[in-house]
Every structure is written in structure tokens, then in C-alpha cells.
Amino acid sequence: MSTIKLTVNGKAVSADVEDRTLLVHLLRENLNLTGTHVGCDTSQCGACVVHIDGRAVKSCTVLAGQAAGSNVTTIEGISKGDELHPMQLAFRDNHGLQCGYCTPGMIMSSIDIVHRHAGKLDEETVRQELEGNICRCTGYHNIVKAVLDAAGRMKVSQAAE
């Protein structure tokens, strides 16, 4: 067992976990942040994507210990109070989700995609970048639309800040 200290969604937290514990399990079991999901056991599906120090990472590929001292953001931490993140709004407005299970990981990956491409995105790029996130419901059509829509919204909201 080890005590892991890290920052999650802006709050300093600590948890006593077995050394083999994955970050996703620390988030779900110890911190009750159940928005981050587990959809596979081979780091393929992306349902568990969170941000570690601002970069999208599959939290099932990271030991909790490896995340010690880092700044983790989960799906629960991206809205500002009642004000949803532009990516969340774009997923809702474009019907980019159905059962909702892959959605947190999709949103966390997509925010990172928009940041890395500085908003310069086209359909082909979005489709290639979403390679690591599997959705079984939407056929990706509306997810792609949502990401392109959000890229525009995020530019606007950045400009406003």
C-alpha cells in the first residue's frame, strides 16, 4: 500500500491504494469520480481518458503511483460551475452521444485534440485523431460534427477570455 497525493479537478487529494492500482480505479473507487469509465482491458476503447497535466491520457494505462504529484482533470472537472465546457455543449447540441458510456472519454480526448491542433481541424483529421476512442452507438457521425463545432466554440470562448 502507498499513499498517493495528487490534484484532481483542482483539489488536493490523497488516497491509500495498493501499488498495482490503476489511476482509473483510484478515481472511481477511492474518489467516487465515476464519470471516468472502463470499457476494455487493453487500453483500446478510451472510455477512461482523463487529462494529466493538460494532456489526454488513458487512465487505465497509468498506475496511480505514476500520477502522484500531477494535476488530473476528469469529466467532472471541466465545467465552470453550471457553465458547461464548449465541448460538452457541442456533444449535446449535435447529438454526439447516445448511451453515454464512451462520452466522458470522448469529450476529454476531443478537448485535447482541439488544443493540439490549435482549432485547425477538418473531418479527416478529427476521424484520425479519434482512433483511440471507440463508440458503439453513434457511428461517429455526430461526434465528428460535435468536435468540429466545439473547435469553433472554443476559439470564441478563448477569445472572450
Choose one: 63-71, 114-122, 129-137, 149-157; the region binding another protein (CB under 8 A). Answer: 129-137
Q: How far is the CB of 119 from another protein (least distance, A)?
A: 19
59 binds another protein (CB under 8 A): no
Rounded Cα gap, residues 152 and 110, in angstroms = 13
Q: What is the 3-state secondary structure (H, E, C) of 45-114?
A: CCCCEEEECCEEEECCCCEHHHHCCCEEECHHHCCECCECCHHHHHHHHCCCCCCCCCHHHHHHHHHHHH
As measured in angstroms, the least distance from the Cβ of 45 to another protein is 6
Contact letters for another protein, residues 84-113 (x by CB under 8 A): x---x--xxx-x-xxxxxxxx--x------
CA atoms within 13 A on the CB side of 67: 35
Which residues lie near another protein (CB under 8 A)?
18, 20, 28, 32-42, 44-45, 47, 74-76, 79, 84, 88, 91-93, 95, 97-104, 107, 123-124, 126-128, 130-131, 133-144
